[in-house]
Amino acid sequence: MNLIPVGVLGTGRHVPERILTNQDLEKMVDTNDEWIRTRTGMRERRIARPDEAASDLSVPAAQEALKRAGITAADLDLIIVATVTPDMAFPSTACILQEKLGAKKAAAYDLSAACTGFIYGLANASNFIALGTYKYALIVGVEVLSKITDYTDRNTCVLFGDGAGAVVLGAVPEGHGFQSFELGADGAGGELLKLEGGGSRNPSSPASIEQKLHYLYMAGAEVFKFAVRVMGSAAEEALRKAGLTKEDIDLLVPHQANIRIIQSALHRLHVPEEKCMINLDRYGNVGAASIPMALAEAAETGRVKEGDRIVMVGFGAGLTWGASVLVW
């Protein structure tokens, strides 16, 4: 069977207006700008309004991606939203977005792979297009992590922010587009990063609120070790599957969880920092939105040119990881 080459036709991103700086956080918990900058690389992050939900952030990002792709919402065959902070448990944020965009003929579903969700979503959608099932797909990575963050817990509240990134996928010329995907999961690490409340194990109740189960929990140091290991290995495996080597990387677009995690991946892959998109200083860790936001910024600011080999790599709760090689 002949597969259709699939690539990115357009990108978009959107963040809420409100900025939460390290100095603001100093007034909220026992922390300081120096600790946050040296331990994480972060300076500020964006925070949604109380009335702003995932679909609200997704709309402008999606519209920008559609515009850059030169298509309209009515052309979309598929919408996948990767998020751990959907508007609500159901209907899916993808269905809410479908309605808001007017993407009448698009199938729509959410995908749960935490910060790796965007890479999982790309792999999902590109298969539909490669097989000729669908022509155009919209993949959105969006998070409103501020709504599940405990702003009395300094271990987590300095890290997370809100935002959305979107791409439109479609057919591209031979030799361009996605060259490989490497996806993985290790459910044994599920306890390290989780939000327990509001599901069928611990439905929302006064007791679940009392126990703070509606906030995300993270064993930071353990996740850090996992991330350092898996970022390098996932990227290497994606390169191997694409028949490429580390030397072929023109731009690395990593999940923006911690500058030290990114630096260790750069070291392992022998990639200099100028060949890496870094935006965590301005946005913090935006979960599933972090890779598409960084990719959109790279596209907008001329960091990528036609034929460049981009490696996207991420990890997250699950535990999950994923990487992809994309020729621009």
Binding site for ligand UT7 (CB under 6 A): 31, 35-36, 39-40, 115, 154-155, 158, 193, 218, 220-221, 223-224, 227, 257-258, 285, 316
Q: Which of residues 57 and 286 has its CB atom nearest to ligand UT7 in the complex?
A: 286
* Euclidean distance between CA atoms 260 and 317, whole angstroms: 19
CB of 135 to ligand UT7, least distance (A): 33
CB of 172 to ligand UT7, least distance (A): 30
Catalytic entry in 22, 95, 115, 124 = 115
CB of 190 to ligand UT7, least distance (A): 13
Residue 285 designated active-site: yes
Q: Which of residues 136 and 226 has its CB atom nearest to ligand UT7 in the complex?
A: 226
* Euclidean distance between CA atoms 157 and 200, whole angstroms: 26
What is the β-pairing status of strands 137-144 and 177-185? unpaired
> Residues 257, 215: contact at Cβ < 8 Å?
no
Residue 95 designated active-site: no
* Euclidean distance between CA atoms 97 and 309, whole angstroms: 31
* Euclidean distance between CA atoms 22 and 77, whole angstroms: 42
Buried-state track 187-222, b at ≥16 Cβ within 10 A, e below 16? eebeebbbbbbbeeeeeeeeebeeeebbbbbbebee
Q: Which of residues 29 and 171 has its CB atom nearest to ligand UT7 in the complex?
A: 29
Q: Which of residues 242 and 257 has its CB atom nearest to ligand UT7 in the complex?
A: 257
CB of 250 to ligand UT7, least distance (A): 25
Nearest one of 99, 141, 74 to 287, comparing CA atoms: 141
CB of 226 to ligand UT7, least distance (A): 8
Whose tokens are 């699950």? That residue is 318
Residue 176 designated active-site: no
Catalytic entry in 22, 124, 258, 285 = 285
Catalytic entry in 14, 95, 124, 255 = 255
> Residues 7, 327: contact at Cβ < 8 Å?
yes
**What is the edge-to-edge ordering of all strands in the sheet holding 320-327?**
177-185, 320-327, 309-316, 251-254
Q: What residues are labeled active site?
A: 115, 255, 285
